[in-house]
Amino acid sequence: MNIIILYYSRSGQTKSLANNIATAVAEQGHTTTVKSVMEVSTADVESADMLFIGTWVHGLILFNVRPANADLWTKALPDLNGKPVATFCTYAFNPRQSLMTLNSLLEERGATIVGQQAFHRDQTDDGVSEFTQTMLQSLVATV
């Protein structure tokens, strides 16, 4: 399967996590492409069997916690046309409802959300293999 991993990163942790996801997906025998959400094209989305889309979490510890600038960059994404999408984020303290917010924004672009995972920004390799395996199994189950 052709899997596209998209990320929105400020300081590199989310990009690192996207690369870790790509490695884990490739180890399961799939073709992967990693791109910034700013670089993705309609052709990329059309060729994908599944997408992983992630961002970092912005906000104060208790207030205004949200997926960073997602209200802006999700609008610039190509139409996702019902493609299965797994979402992920990197956070420092607590992601709160960030992934649910991101999921809603992506569903507005046509995504079919199949799962989500939050990763601490200092542990971007912990649990990646399990996350990707579970998400890819959910895709196979729907085919």
Q: Are 12 and 43 in contact (CB under 8 A)?
A: no
pLDDT band at 19 (very low <50, low <70, confident <90, very high): very high
Tell me the average pLDDT across 67-93.
93
pTM: 0.93
Give the closest residue to 48 by CA, choosing from 23, 98, 17, 82: 82
Q: N- to C-terminal Cα distance for the chain?
A: 12
Give the pLDDT score at 140. Answer: 72
Residue % of the chain over a pLDDT of 70:
94
pLDDT band at 22 (very low <50, low <70, confident <90, very high): very high
